[in-house]
Structure 1
Amino acid sequence: MNLRVLLVPVVLILLAYIVWQLLLALRERRAAAAARRALPDEAGSAEDSADDDGFDYAPALRAAPAEDGPPAAAEKAPAAAESFQLELDVQQLRRDVLRLQAEEQARRQEVIALNEQVQALREQVEGLQAGHGVSPEYNEALVLARRDYDAAAIADRCGISVSEAELVRSMTRRDDRGGEG
Structure 2
Amino acid sequence: MVRVLLLLLVAVLLAYALWQLLHALRNRRREARPPTPAVVATDEDAEADDGDELDDGDEVDESAFNYAPVPRPDAPVAAAAVAASEGEQERFQQELELQQLRRDIARLQAQHAVQQREIADLNDALTALREQFEANLAGQGVSPEYNEALVFARRGLEADAIAERCGISVAEAELVRSMTRRGDTEQEDPA
- Fold similarity call, TM over 0.5: no
Higher relative contact order (CA 8 A, sep 6+): 2
Specify the structure having the higher radius of gyration (Cα).
Answer: 2
TM-score by length of 2: 0.37
TM-score by length of 1: 0.38
